[in-house]
Structure 1
C-alpha cells in the first residue's frame, strides 16, 4: 500500500516515527561523539546548547510561515534534507576545528527547528477535525521511532564506536526523514488554516502563555540529563548498549503513558493537570539522580519517570495549544512554544555545562530541581487563569 493512502492517524504516526528516529540517535549519542573529540565539558555544554539557542530565533518565524500559506510538508522535507547534509559534513568540520563545527551545528539546528512543531501542528489540526483521533495515540509513533533508533544506535555504536558511527547514522536518518515527509505529509490536513486577519495582530491568551512557559520550564529541566546523562552513566561503568537501553526504558515508559492516558478520566482532556503531573515527576526524578548517584542500578528505575516528565508535559502543552490557540495564529502559537522551550533549554544546558565544570554532573542534576519547581508554579497559575 502506498503510504499516502493510509488513514490520517496512521500516516501521522509514521511521520512522527521517521522524524523522531534521528532524535533517538542524536540525543543520547551526539554528546558521546563530541566527547570522543577530546572536547572539555564546558565546550560540550556550549555545543549542545548552541542548536537549542539557534532554535529560539529560527522556530517561531519558520512556523509562522504556515499561517501565511507555506505547507508543513515543505518545511519537513527541506529541514530533513538540511539535516542529512549537515550531519554528513560534521566529521570534516570537526577535523578543521571546533569553530567550524559550531557553525555547522548552528546550520543543523536551523534545519531541525521546524520539524517537530510542524508534525505537532498537522496532528493537532487532524485531531480537531476528527474527534475519533487522539493526539496521544498519534504521538506514539514518535516514541516508537525514538525507541527503535536509540536501541539500534546503541547496538551499532557498540560495534563501530561513537567516533565513526554517530554522524553517518544521523545523515542516513535525515534522508529517511526527507523521503518519509514527502510521502506521508501530503494531505495530512491543517496545512492552510483559515486566516481572517493578520496573524501578527492576534494576541495569545494569558492562560496559554502561562502554559507555554510551564511546559518550557519543565522540558528545560531535562537539559542536564540530555547533555551529560550518557557521559555520567559511562563514567559509572555502563556500556554503550546499556546506555541505549537506559534511554529506551524512558521511551517505553513514555509510550505506556501515551497509550494509557486516554483511559484515565482525571487526566483526559486536562492539560493543566498533565503539566502539573510532569513537573512533580521531574522534581522526583532529578532529586533521585542526585540522591542515588552512586548506584548504577538506580538509573533504569529513574528513567521510568521520563514517561511523566516528558510525556505528561508534552500532552499538557499540546492540549493547551489545541484548546486555547486562536485560529489564524496556530502556527505562531506552535512556534512560540517551541521557541520558548528552546530558550529555556539553552539556558539550562549552558548552566549544566558550567556546573559540570565546577562540581561534576551531580551539581548539574541538582540545578534542574528548581527549574521543575518553576514549571509547577506556572502550571498552577495557568490553570487558575483558564
Structure 2
C-alpha cells in the first residue's frame, strides 16, 4: 500500500505541477529559441485562412468582420469558409458578406453533415497557398495573428504553429469561466515552454497553422483532428512552434455542465489519439517529443485520473499504521474533495466563490476522462461536434 500511495502521489504531482517545474528549469538551462521577426509585405508567403462553421449564424458576421481586419497583404490572403451541414442562414450570410471585399473569399457549403474533418478534407484540394491557418467560427483573433504565425515558417524545421487560446472573463466569474480561464492560462504557459524545449505536443483548433504540403487525410472518425494532425506532423520530424502573440479569444462555456460536454469529447479523442499514435510512446525513437507527449498529454488522459482513486484508497488503508503523516494527507484529500463538492453546490445555485472553482474544475476534468473512456470503449462518441453553449 505504501508503494501504491507514493507512486500515485508522484504521478499526480508530476502530471499537474512537476512537469511544469521541470520544463521551467530545462528551458532556463537550454536557453530560449530565437524567433524570426515578421518579414516585409513583399516577402511574406500566400496564406489561406480556413474556417469550418456549423450553424454559426449568431457568430459568423462578427467572425467575418474580424477576418477582414487581420493585418496581412490582401493580395496574399484568401478566406475559405466551409459550412457543411449548416441548416440555418450561415451560408447565406457568408455569401452576402463576401460580395464586397478586396480579399478573395470562397464559401463552400453542402447540405450533408459528416463532421469537421470530413469538411476540411473536402476543401483542402482548393488550397493553393504554402501555409494554411485554421480557426473556429466562434473565436476572434488579434489583428497581428497571421503575421506572427507566418514568421515561424522562416525556420525550415517548423511544420506547424499553434496559436494561443484566451478565455474572455467577466469581473464576476462563474465556475465555468474562472476554471476554464485558469486552466488555459496554465496550459498556455506549458505550451510556451514546450516549444522552447523542442515542440508543442498538439495544437488547439481555435487557432493553428500548418505547411499545406504536410497536410494528410487523417481518418474521418478522428475526434480531435487538430491535436492528431499536428502530432502527426511532429512525428515526421518537424517541430510545432507556439506563438502567444497570435491568439483566439472566445467566451467561456455557459456553465460547467456545458464545459463538461467539451471535456468528455476531448478526453475520448485524446484516448483515441493515444491508441493511434502508439509509436510516439517510444522515447528511444522520438526522444524529446516522446518525453513531452507522455508528460504533458498521455499521463493526463491515462494514469493521473486513476492515481486519484488509488491515492485515496491506499491512504485510507495506511491509516492503520497510526502515522500522523498519512492522517494529514487523507485530511487534505477529504478537504479538497469537500471544497469541490461545495463548489458544485454553489454553482448549481448560481453563487460564486473563486476559492472553490479550481478544485471543482479539476475534479470535472478528471471525471470527464472516465466518461470519455466509457464512450470510446462503447463506440458511442460521435465525430460530430455536440455544441456546448457559450456565454454571449
Q: Which of the five TM-score ranges fits, normalised by the shorter chain?
A: under 0.3
Structure 2 length normalisation: TM-score?
0.27
The structure with the greater share of residues assigned to strand is: 2
Bigger radius of gyration: 2
Structure 1 length normalisation: TM-score?
0.27
The structure with the greater share of residues assigned to helix is: 1
Of structures 1 and 2, the one with the larger relative CO (CA 8 A, separation 6+) is 1
